[in-house]
């Protein structure tokens, strides 16, 4: 079957996408000419204003990484030794490390059966008087539904922090990811949709949280009245972000188009379908995520891996947080997360794919789901 499709080798899929060079050089040159390269330069405030406007948040605070964004927000929300932070079992290590940085205990909760949102029942079991925050994770740019886990958390008065590091431009129930909880934390690392090399930012509508986070990430403005860290984003990186931000929507449109090409070639009712989406949910297509049954997964995994399209479990050794060695002491069974991780396939749809690469991916997926294909 694969031979009939005229394709047997690996897909020439570029691993990384870099936006086409724009006028970043001019922007950086302007920063250099201004003589201020630090996070105190005016371009950083301009970048923050543009971020707040783009995502519809009252405040945006630029920081030097997504990890810093998570750490600062959790710290400001009171995460300390003796407190607990809820984190979904689907969390990759960079989502969970900032909890450890605060000294708080990570409490690993299962996701709901149908997706990436926290499971309300497991959540209810795991909330304690020590819980200071819960992390919601729209992984792969796919919406993590807000209800009913949000209702459980709201009822208990626990703030939700979104790790939207992969979810720039994703819409959840019609609202931008990163604006549904008390704060949204983003990364602008080179692999993310708004790349500045390294970097991150925080969105919040909460004036007090914004002020405290701003203070904490800027050394308490050296007043000597409070402790702070230096998580400022350097001016040249803010200049890059400011130039690239307007391209985000075009990039998402291209990713969406590529995803539709692949999805339209999937046999209806076949063993692979897109990860379930609710009304008002729009992924940013950080990648296209397909899902199979547990029974079909091993054969599809093997077939895709042979063609250079290995899922994250093979490619990055992605596994549930509760299965990571260093999180073993905080582990509990998370069967929904195990199933989700074992049955999802991450397919590149970035704008760096040309028509041939897209055709190759489509054919590889068709071959993988065809009954003719056996390892
Ligand atoms: C990239 C990423 C982070 C960390 O961001 P950095 O900028 O690399 O520190 C956190 N969480 C998720 C889900 C990520 O993808």
Quick: pLDDT tens for 150-168: 999 999 999 999 999 999 9
Report the pLDDT value the prediction gives residue 214, as an integer from 0 to 100.
98
Q: What percent of the chain has pLDDT over 90?
A: 89
Report the pLDDT value the prediction gives residue 9, as an integer from 0 to 100.
64
Query: Does residue 19 have its Cβ closer than 6 Å to ligand 1?
Result: no
Transcribe 119-186 into DSSP letters. Answer: PHHHHHHH--TTEEEEEE--GGG-----TTHHHHHHHHTPPEEEE-TT-TT-EETTEETTSSSSEEEE
Expressed in angstroms and rounded, the spacing between residue 71 Cα and the centre of ligand 1 is: 11
List strand residue ranges (DSSP E) for the chain, in order.
Answer: 59-63, 84-88, 105-109, 131-136, 160-163, 171-172, 175-176, 183-187, 200-204, 273-274, 288-291, 344-347
Which strand (E) or helix (H) includes residue 372?
none
Q: What is the pTM of this model?
A: 0.95
Determine the average pLDDT of the residues in 102-128.
Answer: 96
Query: Does residue 185 have its Cβ closer than 6 Å to ligand 1?
Result: no
Cα distance between residue 198 and residue 233, in whole Å? 9
Determine the average pLDDT of the residues in 114-136.
Answer: 96
The set of residues, in sequence order, having a beta carbon less than 8 Å from that of 142 and lying 6+ positions away, is: 115, 116, 167, 170, 275, 277, 281, 283, 289
Terminal-residue alpha carbon distance, the chain: 13
Expressed in angstroms and rounded, the spacing between residue 67 Cα and the centre of ligand 1 is: 6
Determine the average pLDDT of the residues in 179-199.
Answer: 97
Query: Does residue 217 have its Cβ closer than 6 Å to ligand 1?
Result: no
Reply yes or no on whether the pLDDT at 375 is more than 90.
no
Quick: pLDDT tens for 261-313: 999 999 888 999 999 999 999 999 999 999 999 999 999 999 999 999 999 99
Determine the average pLDDT of the residues in 231-260.
Answer: 97
| Ligand 1 atom closest to residue 67's alpha carbon, by position in its atom list | 9
Report the pLDDT value the prediction gives residue 2, as an integer from 0 to 100.
36
Nearest CA to ligand 1 atom 14: 165
Quick: pLDDT tens for 12-47: 788 788 888 888 999 999 999 999 999 999 999 999
Determine the average pLDDT of the residues in 227-249.
Answer: 97
Q: If 0-12 CB within 10 Å is exposed, 13-18 middle and 19+ buried, where does residue 242 land?
A: buried
Residues annotated as catalytic are 192
Expressed in angstroms and rounded, the spacing between residue 98 Cα and the centre of ligand 1 is: 10
Reply yes or no on whether the pLDDT at 7 is more than 60.
no
Report the pLDDT value the prediction gives residue 353, as an integer from 0 to 100.
94
Rounded to whole angstroms, what are the CA distances from 8 to 14, 88, 230, 313, 356?
18, 38, 51, 23, 14
Reply yes or no on whether the pLDDT at 188 is more than 90.
yes
Cα distance between residue 313 and residue 322, in whole Å? 14
SS3 state at 344: strand
Mean pLDDT for all residues in the chain: 94
Report the pLDDT value the prediction gives residue 15, as an integer from 0 to 100.
77
Query: Does residue 88 have its Cβ closer than 6 Å to ligand 1?
Result: no
């Amino acid at each position: 079957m694969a031979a009939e499709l005229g394709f047997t080798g690996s897909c020439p899929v570029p691993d990384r996408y870099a936006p086409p060079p724009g006028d970043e050089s001019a922007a950086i040159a302007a920063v250099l000419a201004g003589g201020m390269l630090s996070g105190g330069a005016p371009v950083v405030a301009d970048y923050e204003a543009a971020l707040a406007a783009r995502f519809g948040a009252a405040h945006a605070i630029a920081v030097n990484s997504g990890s810093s964004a998570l750490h600062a927000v959790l710290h400001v929300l009171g995460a300390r030794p003796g407190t607990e932070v809820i984190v979904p079992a689907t969390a990759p290590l960079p989502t969970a490390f900032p909890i450890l940085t605060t000294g708080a205990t990570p409490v690993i909760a299962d996701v709901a059966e149908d997706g990436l949102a926290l499971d309300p029942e497991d959540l209810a079991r795991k909330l304690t008087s020590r819980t200071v925050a819960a992390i919601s994770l729209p992984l792969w740019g796919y919406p993590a539904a807000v209800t009913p886990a949000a209702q459980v958390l709201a009822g208990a008065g626990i703030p939700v922090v979104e790790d939207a590091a992969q979810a720039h431009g994703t819409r959840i129930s019609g609202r931008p990811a990163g604006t549904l909880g008390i704060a949204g934390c983003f990364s602008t690392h080179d692999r993310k949709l708004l790349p500045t090399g390294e970097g991150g930012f925080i969105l919040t509508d909460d004036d007090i949280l914004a002020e405290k986070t701003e203070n904490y990430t800027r050394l308490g403005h050296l007043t000597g009245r409070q402790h702070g860290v230096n998580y400022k984003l350097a001016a040249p990186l803010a200049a890059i972000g400011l130039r690239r931000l307007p391209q985000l929507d075009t990039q998402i449109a291209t990713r969406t188009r590529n995803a539709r090409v692949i999805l339209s070639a999937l046999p209806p009712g076949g063993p692979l379908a897109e990860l379930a989406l609710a009304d008002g949910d729009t992924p940013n297509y950080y990648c296209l995520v397909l899902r199979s049954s547990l029974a079909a997964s091993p054969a599809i995994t093997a077939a895709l891996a042979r063609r250079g399209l290995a899922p994250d479990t093979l490619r990055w050794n992605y596994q549930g947080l509760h299965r990571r060695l260093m999180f073993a002491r905080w582990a509990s069974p998370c069967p929904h997360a195990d199933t989700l991780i074992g049955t999802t396939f991450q397919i590149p749809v970035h704008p760096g794919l040309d028509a041939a690469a897209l055709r190759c991916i489509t054919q590889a997926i068709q071959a993988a789901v065809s009954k003719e294909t056996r390892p």
